Structures are given as C-alpha cells and as structure tokens.
Amino acid sequence: MDAESLQAAALTSKAWPYEEARKLLKRWPNGKPGGSPMIFETGYGPSGLPHIGTFNEVARTTFVRNAYHELTGGAQTRLIAFSDDMDGLRKVPDNVPNQALLAEHLGKPLTRIPDPFGTHESFAHHNNAMLRSFLDRFGFDYEFLSATDCYTRGRFDDVIRQVLRNWAGVMDVMLPTLREERRQTYSPVLPVSPASGRVLQVPVEVVDAEAGTIAFADEDGAPIEQSALGGMAKLQWKVDWAARWVALGVDYEMAGKDLIDSVVQSGRIARVLGGRPPEGFNYEMFLDEAGEKISKSKGNGLSLDEWLRYGSEESLAFYIYREPKRAKSLHIGVIPRAVDEYLQFRERYAEQPLEQKLGNPVHHIHAGDVPGNKLPLTYGLLLNLVSLPGVGDKETAWRFVQRYAPGTSPESDPELNELIGLAVNYARDFVAPGLQRRAPTEIEEAALRDLDAELARLAPDTPGDEIQNHVFEVGKQHFGKERLREWFGVLYETLLGSSQGPRMGSFIALYGIDNSRRLIGEALGSG
C-alpha cells in the first residue's frame, strides 16, 4: 500500500489507535514547534517486576504511536518508558529474597536501597534492568528515563520551582480530594531527610521559591531548611505526574480506569504549572475467571510467562488490542481462542481492501508489515489431537501433522512448530486431565456404527472437507438437520471426552481414518 493512500484511509478509519492518534493532530494541527517529536510516555513503578500490565500499556501506546506515524506520513515521535524509582519503598514485596534487608530501608528512595538479589547497584537498578530486558525482549522502541536521574541531575529543577511558586494553586487542586487528617500533613513536595535518607511525608514551608528552598521538621523533630532541588526532595505522585508531563513535554499517555480521578487532578495541576496535560484515554481493567478485578496482592492474575507458555506473543497483543475500553477476562481459558482468532484475522488481511486492513487488529500488531504465511492447522484442532492418549508430545504430534500437511517440518515451519509446542503444553496442563469419554446411548451407537462404515469406505488420504460431508450425512440420517448440533456433541463427548471440539472432518483427516475408527470402536465397546 502506498503512503498517500494509507494516510488518507487512516484519517477516516474508526480503528481506535487512529481515533487516539487524531487527538494529536488536533493538539498540534501544524506539528510541534520546531519539528520537535511527539512525545508518548508510559510509567512504571520499580518496586515490583514487569508483568502483563506493563506489556499491555506499552503495546497499546505503541499501537497509537504507529497510527500517528501513518496519519502524518512518518512524523517524528519518541516513546519514554519512565521509572518512578525515586519513590520511597512503602512495603517489602512478597516475591523477593533477603526481605529483612529491604525492611531496614523502608521509606528510602528505591535507588538508595540495596539490591536483595545482589546483582545491581540498588533494588531499583535491578528492577529497571528487568524492565529494559522485558521491553527489549518484545522489540519495543523506547527511551528509558529514571526519575532519580531526572531529579538528581536537575532536569526537574525548573518544574519544582514552578510548584513552589504556585504552591497555593497546587494545594487548591489537591486538598479537596483528601481526608481531613491527611490535609493537615499534605505537602506537594516530599523532602529527603538529611539524617535518614528517607522520603518524608511531612508539612513543608516554602522559604524561597526562586532558590528552591524549603523548611520542614525532620523525623526527630529537628527543624531543617534545605533545597528541594537536585534530588534533595521529590514531588507527591499526582503532582509528580503533572510535573513530569510539563518537564518532558509529554503529548500522550494512557492509564487504567482506576486512575481516572488522578488523571483529572494531575491535568489540573499541569495547567497550574503553566503546562498542558497530554492526550490519552483510560482503559478498562482485566478481570479474572470469576469476574473480579485482577490484583497483584490477591494473586488472581495471569502472568506474562503463563500466557507465553500456552499462547504466542502475537495472540496476547491481539487480545489486548481489542476493545480496550471494555472490561475483559484475562485467564488461561481465553488463550486458545485468542491464538486462533489472531491467525484468522491474519489470514484475511491480504485479501481485504485498504479500509478493512486498517481496522484489522493484525495491521496494528505488526505495524503494517503483516506476515503472509498461512498455517495448515488451527490451535484448537491441535489441542484435540495432542489431548489424545499417546499423542501428548511434539515429536508424535509432528508425525500426524506431516501426514496431514506433507512438506512441513519443524525446521521449515518454525511458527507451526511453536504452535504445536504451545498446544502440547496447554493440553497436558489443562485439557487431558479433565477428559472423560461417556458411553453412547443406543441411538447414538447406531449412528456411530454407520459413521464407522462410511469411514471404512474412504481412502486414507481423503480430504477433511469430504470426510466432513460424510459426517454430516450420517448425522442427518439419525438426528435430522435440526439436531445436527446434538450429533456433533455426541462425537465430542463419546470420542474425545469433551463438551466441545473441532470440525470433525478436519480432525479425522489429521488423526487418520484408521485411528479415528479405533476411537469409534472404543466408544462402541464402552456402550
């Protein structure tokens, strides 16, 4: 597709990344002054390790960034991955070693706390390295920024002075949002104690806004007068968020629905500081299998590694692309469908007109460079195959696959090889343990015998579509057209031990006619 046609179609596309990117066209109709790049940002709290929510936010922001490139014909952009590593550690995480070591340093900035893993300069440096490795693993294009570096190297000094100059205005935004007791101690600026090194939550007095000087009582009650600049203080997080937008010139940042009020308050503070809040939207939160909000403290979420054990990276990107403003379940059970739907959308892409291409999730997942290869099997079909006794490993599964799709191999078809491995993992952990074939009824036995007779007349290499026709005909004879769904349920429950299943013609072609007849024989023998 040529750039001019792409740009014209993107200007009217209803796909959400284009709708978001068009906000930036309205924000800067003639582009940013001096040809400056459009700044996208995602924030990260380094008191924990990167997780699926981190992937979610960076991927969605990247979708919008790529859409903006297409809308503008390639205007310059930057994506900042910002680590809030100047925050004081409030509690010791459950999933790290040497917890007693961390407990000794509660309240200190994360970059001034020893690394419990013993591999980096500080706890934050360790987790920042994990973040960068995580983002690199998925090929994200980003620039990493550390809050500690921004504070200590003076990058935030001017905006801190703005906070001090506009103290009353900032307090007017924040105080109405706080409980009465919190109002008594609230300060937009959090000084770092010169004695303990902790980030203090204490009342602060502005001594000299231009010089950046503040006064406060230290932990032992001693009166302290010191600079708020150069890393000797940090800002309360909502003020910090606004100040970061202003200091870095952020144009776009999205956030979860749970932060709607915070976005509003930080936006108001940004204006008080003489800046402009970024564009963005609030995405809905993920739910667990029971429909409850996923929480790290509850441990009811799905980890990134868990998804990637059973599904591809592209299937995860596909799942999070769709309907970002609707609450969606995120649990193991959604993976097989996400994998197959991704592959279906990818298969359609090449034949779609340009307008439909831009609405296809795979266009955004692959930044317009969509793979054109088609896999000969679905994930669901492979799941049914590798769930059967004696087929639960890649090597055995490949023997069936190569007979079904001659010319394929692990070496020449790495994506198919990966898909088989993912299906083997899923079947072994979640499908095979719960399979239980039921005995057929007398009426069902008669239908199965007729199906067996039909299969006996077919050549071993009969295509799946032709086999499917025979399955349909047997079903019509015994159940009638209106009850064909019931017939397929009989096949799934008596042959596969599941309430759901694949297109039976394709499955029989994959598993083999003789093997499928053996399954029928076993079912009839149990009746």
Is 469 a domain residue? yes
- Residues 129, 176 share a domain: yes
Section 30-57 average pLDDT: 88
Residues 58, 105, single domain; the answer is yes
End-to-end CA distance of the chain: 59
* Domain of 178, in residue numbers: 3-184+236-283
Contact 234, 201 (CB under 8 A): no
Q: Which pLDDT score is estimated for 288?
A: 75
Within this chain, do residues 316 and 402 fall inside the same structural domain, yes or no? Answer: no
Contact 327, 287 (CB under 8 A): yes
Is residue 506 scored above 80 in pLDDT?
Answer: yes
Show Cβ contacts of residue 515 under 8 Å, excluding neighbours closer than 6 positions. Answer: none
What is the pLDDT, as a whole number, of residue 297? Answer: 47
Q: What is the residue type of 100?
A: A
Phi and psi angles of residue 293, each rounded to the nearest 5 degrees, phi first: -60, 135
pLDDT of residue 285: 86
pLDDT of residue 391: 94
Distance CA 325, CA 283 (A): 5
Q: Are 212 and 221 in contact (CB under 8 A)?
A: no
Question: At 214, is the secondary structure helix, strand, or coil?
Answer: strand
Judge whether residue 526 has pLDDT over 90: no
Could you tell me if 125 and 259 lie in one domain?
yes
Torsion of CA 456, 458, 459, 462, to 10 degrees: -130
Answer yes or no: do 9 and 105 share one domain.
Answer: yes
At 2 the pLDDT is 84
Residue 241 predicted with pLDDT over 90? yes
Domain shared by 242 and 348, yes or no? no
pLDDT at 301 over 70: no
pLDDT above 70: percentage of residues in the chain:
98
Does a structural domain hold residue 57? yes
Q: Does 423 or 134 have the greater pLDDT score?
A: 423
Last residue of a domain, one of 434, 451, 476: 434
Helix (H) or strand (E) holding 344: helix 335-349
Q: Is residue 200 part of a domain?
A: no
Q: Does any domain span residue 370?
A: no
Verify that 11 and 119 share a domain, yes or no: yes
Q: What is the pLDDT of residues 164-199, one digit of tens each?
A: 999 999 999 999 999 999 999 999 999 999 999 999
Residue 294 has pLDDT above 70, yes or no: no
- What is the pLDDT averaged over residues 193-208? 97
| Residue 26 sits in the same domain as residue 104 | yes
* Residues 120 and 129 sit within 8 Å (Cβ to Cβ): yes
One domain, residues 118 and 261: yes
- 456: CATH: 1.10.10.350
* Annotated binding-site ranges for ATP: 296
DSSP string covering 401-464: HHHHSTT--TTT-HHHHHHHHHHHHHIIIIIGGG--PPPP-HHHHHHHHHHHHHHHTS-TT--H
Integer Cα distance of 117 and 202 in angstroms: 32
pLDDT at 298: 54
pLDDT at 333 over 80: yes
In a domain, 203, yes or no: no
Residue 213 forms part of a structural domain? no
Q: How confident is the model at residue 500 (pLDDT cuts 50, 70, 90)?
A: confident
Residue 417 sits in the same domain as residue 455: no
Q: Is residue 264 classed as helix, strand or coil in its secondary structure?
A: helix
pLDDT per position as a tens digit, 111-148: 999 999 999 999 999 999 999 998 999 999 999 999 99
Residue 214 belongs to a domain? no
Q: What region does 85 belong to: left with phi over 0, alpha with psi -120 to 50, or beta? A: alpha
Shared domain check, 152 and 55 = yes
Give the pLDDT score at 53.
Answer: 83
pLDDT of 204 > 50? The answer is yes
Ordered DSSP codes for 64-130: HHHHHHHHHTS--EEEEEEE-TTSBP-S--TTSS-HHHHHTTTTSBGGGS--TTSSSSSHHHHHHHH
- Same structural domain for residues 295 and 386? no
Instruction: Give the confidence band of 296 by pLDDT, cuts at 50, 70, 90.
Output: low
Mean residue pLDDT across the chain: 94
The answer as to whether 490 is a domain residue is yes
Domain count, the chain: 4
